[in-house]
Structure 1
Amino acid sequence: MALPIEPLQPLAPASGLARLAPGLAYAGAVAALAFALRELPGVGLVGPMSLAVGLGIAARALVGAPAAAGPGLAFALRPLLRLGVMLLGLQLTLSQAASIGAGGFAVIAVSLAGTFAFTLWAGRRLGVAPRLTQLIAAGTSVCGASAIVAANTVARADDEDVAYAIACVTLFGTLGMTLYPLLAGPFGLDAQAYGLWAGASLHEVAQAVGASTAGGPEAGEAGTVAKLSRVILLAPLVIGLGLWSARGTGREAGHPPAPWFVGGFLALIVLNSVVALPAEAKALAAQVATALLAVALAAMGLSADLAKLRARGARPLLLGLIATLFITAVSLGGVTLLG
């Protein structure tokens, strides 16, 4: 159940900051705990964003979330989240997408589009709620938790739907990261083909990089470039989903199908492509983006009702599994055709 949040009123800066402080501090503490837990053996396989949303759900169930935290949590779920996604653009360049060649990019694009469409179809067949289906489709086809929170700016699903979708991509992406290195040999993939397969199909960036690197330096480079090229397609997917979600939904006419941060995301990709930005600046931007998204997802977990999360049942989990198997098979087929 979403927290009761009072609408923000125009206030003096100090007063406004005071209203935001409790919620931001609460979400920040949960996010900090997520980063700390990743230092434990084995926990590092799970990204800080996925850990943050899980810890947020647990904190709400065990400790609760006071009403005073509401404004700060709302701020984390809106401006901070969008800024975090936008900053991801500084990790990508158009030359990276070009470096994998037309065939490699075609495998990525077809796998992404096919998986998204197939997941929407399978969700209807399984009776999964449309908005939850859209989030699972976005997370599976593009880049895990980041794609889910970006897609939700236009899908506008409940916090419980977001948390469930992130749980799906975390579970199946982590399983894929551990199983992929065992499959390169049986499938007859060389290092470049294996890296392209991992980058084109695994959900989170860290999962794709981890799995592809296990195949050696050449596979690691191919997997990283393929995955980052796939993330570039996040912007057109959000725009398309916004247009699709607005069809016949009766939403207010003024609701834009593409939120402002999508334009910022694309602008930063172009900037990073044409300007030689210092490596230190890009590394700092990556750290800031991860921290902002972790705080936002901690806030989302703190706003989610565990009972409503359980009420979703097992069908969305089955949908996540089916979608993962689909993108795995389609991308493998594409890589095999490329030779």
Structure 2
Amino acid sequence: MALQQVQQEKHVTAANSTTVEGLSHSKGFVRGLLLTLVLAIIAGQLAKLPFLSIMGIMILSILLGMSWKSVMSVPTGAAPGITFSSKILLRAGIILMGLRLNLEQIVNAGLSVFLIDVIVIAFTLVVMMSLGKALSIDKHLSALIAVGTAVCGAAAIVAVAPLIKGKKEYTALAVACIAILGTVGAILYILLYPLLGLNSYSYGVLVGATLHELAHVIAAAIPGGEVSSETALLVKLGRVALLIPVALILGFIFSRNDGTKTAEKKSFKDLPVPWFIFGFLAMSVVNTLQLLSASVTNALIFISIYLLSMAMAGLGLSINFGDFKKVGIKPVIVGILGFMALSLLSPFLLYLL
């Protein structure tokens, strides 16, 4: 009897220990999730300020996350919730972001606009990845900076990073680089607008084809008026729509270059296909066919912005500033030279109109 009693007590102790660990894990998960939400909300408020609005809520979220970790440190046990935000919520946000696209409008814009977007993306990827190779920068990092410049800034970077097995510090550095360059670029365009001698439509094409983030495009297009703003947004969304083929191509290229992975790929599910990107395309189709009311669509787009911002905050909370010192100044040089090359391409792009 005594032996049975001891065994029962051991089972009860083990069960209680498991329960305590489960509750601790749950509390840590909620704590991490709430932290990313609070940072995203703060970033949303900061993004309403005049200058910070150019950077946008997503960029501010990752900067707040990085600042929080360096000053306050991450709460104990919060890692699961932070990881959930930076991975699961990221994919959900990208899927819902597809509701911004109306594929019919992009098709109706004509072949010239589509051709401009394709040239911009192909040119930028080739030039910047070649520069990265010439400067002996890690190919994953140069690819992330290139795709952020070519397609749609931070959203493109975080969408492509898992497909090419990019490190967290590379993702954060690429996002920070794009944030700074895009902000500087937007300010320069606003200042140079009176000197460029372009009509509103041409200026809108220039802004939409060459600036990084959607927030940068919206801010820089304002001096050209309504025509400029609508044109810039349309051209930019055309680049966003091309995120799908770009992600597929980069995922395929990097998986082929990784010899250890190639030999292991035996089933269809192992192929580097970003399934959440197809969710993005599905939402684009839903918006194009107007299957949802305008109010529901706007609400879901609002949710997607905050889901992506929570993901950015989670990414920032996972990064150490010391990681940036290891990389050096070369990635920033690639970002600057790539943006300059894209700007020099502008006259040819306008010639296609």
> Is the shorter-chain TM-score for this pair beyond 0.5, marking a shared fold?
yes
Task: State the 1:38 CA deviation.
Answer: 2.2
Task: State the 1:33 CA deviation.
Answer: 1.9
CA distance in 1, matches of 2:117, 2:343: 11
Task: Give structure 2 stretches of 5+ with no counterpart.
Answer: 1-21
Identify which of 103, 120, 126 aligns with 2:129. Answer: 120
| Matched residue, 2:345 | 330
Cα distance change on mapping 1:44 and 1:187 into 2, 3 Å? closer
Number of matched residues?
A: 327
| Matched residue, 1:321 | 336
Alignment of 1:176-187 (within 5 A): 176-187=185-196
Identify which of 213, 216, 227 aligns with 1:204. Answer: 213
Match of 2:223, as an amino acid? A
With structure 1 as the length reference, what TM-score do the two structures score? 0.91
| Matched residue, 1:149 | 158
Pair 1:54 & 2:46 matched? no
CA distance in 2, matches of 1:78, 1:16: 18
| Matched residue, 1:77 | 86
Match of 2:288, as an amino acid? S
CA distance in 2, matches of 1:165, 1:105: 26
CA distance in 1, matches of 2:86, 2:175: 15
| Matched residue, 1:256 | 271
CA distance in 2, matches of 1:15, 1:305: 25
Mean Cα deviation higher: 182-191 or 286-295: 182-191
Cα distance change on mapping 1:330 and 1:14 into 2, 3 Å? farther
- SS of residue paired to 1:215: helix
Mean Cα deviation higher: 96-105 or 298-307: 96-105
Mean Cα deviation higher: 277-286 or 200-209: 277-286
Question: Could you tell me whether the CA contact under 8 Å between 1:96 and 1:229 is conserved in 2?
Answer: no
- SS of residue paired to 1:247: helix
| Matched residue, 1:245 | 254
Question: Could you tell me whether the CA contact under 8 Å between 1:19 and 1:72 is conserved in 2?
Answer: yes
Identify which of 91, 95, 112 aligns with 1:103. Answer: 112
What are the superposed Cα offsets for residues 281-325 of structure 1, whole Å, 9 maximum, x if unpaired? 121111111100111110111000110122211110111111111
| Matched residue, 1:310 | 325
Cα distance change on mapping 1:62 and 1:182 into 2, 3 Å? closer
Identify which of 279, 284, 292 aligns with 2:299. Answer: 284
Task: State the 1:185 CA deviation.
Answer: 4.4
Mean Cα deviation higher: 258-267 or 329-338: 329-338
Task: Give structure 1 stretches of 5+ with no counterpart.
Answer: 1-12
Alignment of 1:131-146 (within 5 A): 131-146=140-155
| Matched residue, 2:44 | 35
- SS of residue paired to 2:196: coil
**RMSD of equivalent CA atoms:** 1.9
What are the superposed Cα offsets for residues 27-62 of structure 1, whole Å, 9 maximum, x if unpaired? 222222212222334222211111111111111111
| Matched residue, 1:91 | 100
Question: Could you tell me whether the CA contact under 8 Å between 2:25 and 2:77 is conserved in 1?
Answer: no
Mean Cα deviation higher: 235-244 or 186-195: 186-195
Match of 2:204, as an amino acid? G
Identify which of 284, 288, 304 aligns with 1:269. Answer: 284
